[in-house]
Every structure is written in C-alpha cells, then in structure tokens.
Amino acid sequence: MKRWFLLTLALVLLLTACGGKTVPPPPEEENAPPADAPPPMPEAPAKPVDPEEAALQALLNGLSLEEKVGQLFFVKVPAENALEDVTAYHLGGYLLFSKDTKDLTANELIQKIASWQAETADSGIPLLIGADEEGGTTARISSNPHIRSKRFSSPGKLWRQGELEAVKEEAREKAILLKAIGVNVNLAPVADVSTNPADFMYDRTTGGDETTAAAFVGAVLEVQTRYGLGSVMKHFPGYGNNRDTHNGAAVDERSLDTFWNQDFVPFQSGIDFGNRHPLGPAVLVSHNIVKCMDPDLPASLSPEVHRVLRDELGFDGVVMTDDLAMGAVSAYAADGNAAVMSLQAGNDLVVTTDYRAQIPRVIAAVEEGELPESVIDTACLRVLRWKLELGLLELTEEGKLVSTVIPWG
C-alpha cells in the first residue's frame, strides 16, 4: 500500500509541474519528407551552351529588321548598281549567270566578286556567291572559254564514261576552280530522277534510276564538302517528267508513293549525308504543282511541301526557292508578294531578280503583322549558320563571329 501511495504522489507532482498538461513532442521540421520517402534526386546539370550557337544568336539579335530580311535574298546580279545594292539592301548573296561572266578573264571575275565582298566589311557578314555549274547544258562559269577551255560535262555523260570515279574527278576540278574564283556555293547536284530522254530535265540528270541518282548526289556532296564548297540539291520534291516551268505552271499528277519510292530517295541520301557532316547541303524547291501534296500552289510557295521536307524527310538546313521570276509563280502571286508567300511557306532564301521590289514588301508584311518576325529570325539564323559552316564567318576567342573575307581594294 505504501508503495502504491508513493507512486501516486510522484505522478501528481509531475502533472502539477507541467501545469496539468502533458509535455508536447518536439515540433516537426516544416516540409520535412515522410520518414519512408526516398532521398531527393540531384538537380540535372545545366545543358552546356554551344559557343557557336550563342554567337549566331548574338549576331542575329544585333541586326535590324531590314538587315535580317536582306540576308534572306540570294539574287541574280543586277545589270546596274550591283556594288551599291550589296549594302543598300543588305543582300545575303549574288548568283552568277552566264551574262555576268561573259568575256571576263578569270582574274577580272575574281576582282569583281572581291569588290562585292569588300562592300560587306561594315556589316561583317560576307555574301554567298553562287553559280549553277552543273555541267553540260547548265554551266555558268565553264561556258566562258577565258576561264576554262571547255565546259564541264553533264552528269549523264560523266556517268556513262566512268560512273562514280568520273563524277568525283570532275567535281574535284569544279570545286577547285569555283573556290579560286570566289564562288562559295554551287547550285548542284541535280537530284532529280529522269530515265526518259524526252523529259525536260533528262539532260541535267544521270539518266538513271533513283539508286543511280542517289549515288551521284552522294559523290558530288562528298567532293564539294571536302573543298568547302556549298552544295544545293535540286529540284525538290523531284522534277519527274514535268515540263519547263520558266514559262508557265507544270502540274505533277504522280502519287505520293511514287515520290517516296523514287524521287525522295536521292534527296534523303543527301539529307543523311548532311546529318553526318558539319557542312550540309541546301535544298532548292521547284515551282511544280505537286497535286498529291498541294493541288493549289507551286511547291516553292506551298507550306505542305515544306512540311514534308522538314518533318517527314528530317531536313533542317537551308531551303531556297527556284527563281521567283519564272512564269510558273506569277499567276499564284498576282499581288506581287511572291517573296512574302515563299517565306510564309518555309523557305529561308529567296532567289529572284526582283529583289528591289520584293524586299520592301517583306519588311512591310512584318511591320503590318502579316508575316511574323519570328519567321524571319528562324530563316536568317539558318542562313547565318550556313555561312559559318561555309567558312565565311569564324568564331573568335572572345565568342564573336567575324568575317573571314580578306579586304580588297
């Protein structure tokens, strides 16, 4: 009994000391995880910034709208004011045709091109200088006997003479000559498939099937890339047996399966090549109306054709129009806004003679909200990246892009 009394007394004293209340447990740490929760995952390391991409973005951010739009125009050399227009319109590049090289010696042509490049000193962004030097019927440079004793051979003739070896050897000579003159982009190879001598495009192809065309494209890309010469695969989505679009529209009635099984094969081969090399090719889009993709618009103005090229074939390089001055386009851009429509469709470079009228219309379309400036930015960034890949721009130790063109004068 005495023992029970002592225990009771001790309990009463303890409760009295605590004010008649039980002692609360220590407070739990705020937001503490449950006892059985797994340990927190470490934060993922920040993705490293590509210095070239950062420099490209900085260069883009420093350009005015007029300068960005000008970079998207790869134009025929005008008969007058070619030197002045380089800076007046902030042009992305000049395309040489036979009229621009006729009767000039190699040295005279070198000096002419160098004078254009010198005009880009203030902007620090050199020009693309292009030429259609396919060989055969389309030879803008080698057709001048003062520059080469005979024009380069057509793809078909080379293939019949020695297949890949003959193609590579002439591509090597071509690349050396063009680079020496100052040309940095060859609008070749022709990736079209044509096996019928009656086709308009036949003489500009190997004359073989899609496997032969893919091998030809790969050989030309390999050599031109090795010499730092830009390549342009044409004429997407494949010219087939369509008629000449210089004078009017050509409507392609073939099925989508035909394109996948035939016409796309050489282009896909070239796209895969570009994915493996730091200098990838560009793609030129034709003016053919390809009904299985877009029955209403020429391919060059069709968002759907460009979606197929980008999303289904996986091409992320520069896309350019065929010459917008061709008759096949005029009926579909009656308001004169062919360049605006081509950029809305997804092109990055606009090939045209009429740039003096088209550039202001593109600028106006952006200012009026008809064409988002983000479209211009995306295209301009691709063009600037291609110029970097071509070696026209280089990254300094300070992380800036500068021109590699040597001043002339």
Q: What is the 3-state secondary structure (H, E, C) of the chain?
A: CHHHHHHHHHHHHHHHHCCCCCCCCCCCCCCCCCCCCCCCCCCCCCCCCCHHHHHHHHHHHCCCHHHHHHHCEEEECCCCCHHHHHHHCCCCEEEECHHHHCCCCHHHHHHHHHHHHHCCCCCCCCCEEEECEEECCEECCCCCCCCCCCCCCCHHHHHHHHHHHHHHHHHHHHHHHHHHHCCCEECCCECCCCCCCCCCCHHHCCCCCHHHHHHHHHHHHHHHHHCCCEEEEEEECCCCCCCCCCCCCCEECCCHHHHHHHHHHHHHHHHHHHHHCCCCCEEEECCCEECCCCCCCCHHHCHHHHHHHHHHCCCCCCEEECCCCCHHHHCCCCCCCHHHHHHHHCCCEECCCCHHHHHHHHHHHHHCCCCCHHHHHHHHHHHHHHHHHCCCEEECCCCCEEECCCCCC
pLDDT score at 34: 61
pLDDT score at 196: 94
How many other β-carbons are positioned within 10 Å of the β-carbon of residue 397? 5
* Across 85-114, average pLDDT: 97
Q: Can you say how many angstroms the Cα of residue 164 is from the centroid of all Cα atoms in its chain?
A: 27
Sort 380 into a burial class: Cβ within 10 Å, 0-12 / 13-18 / 19+: buried
- Which tokens in the block code for residue 20? 């008649």
Among 13-17, 189-193, 222-226, 371-375, where is mean pLDDT lowest? 13-17
Q: Are 102 and 144 in contact (CB under 8 A)?
A: yes
Q: Which is it for strands 185-186 and 138-139: parallel, antiparallel or unpaired?
A: unpaired
Angle at 379 between CA 389 and CA 257, to 5 degrees: 90
Across all residues in the chain, what is the average pLDDT?
A: 90
pLDDT band at 31; cut points 50, 70, 90: low
pLDDT band at 18; cut points 50, 70, 90: very low
User: What distance in Å separates the CA atoms of residue 55 and residue 402, rounded to the nearest whole number?
Assistant: 10
Q: Which residue has the higher pLDDT, 247 or 313?
A: 313
- pLDDT tens-place string over residues 341-369: 999 999 999 999 999 999 999 999 999 99
Q: Quickly tell me which residue has 């026209």 as its tokens.
A: 392
What is the reported pTM? 0.88
pLDDT score at 148: 96
Q: Which of 185, 171, 107 is nearest to 135 (CA)?
A: 171
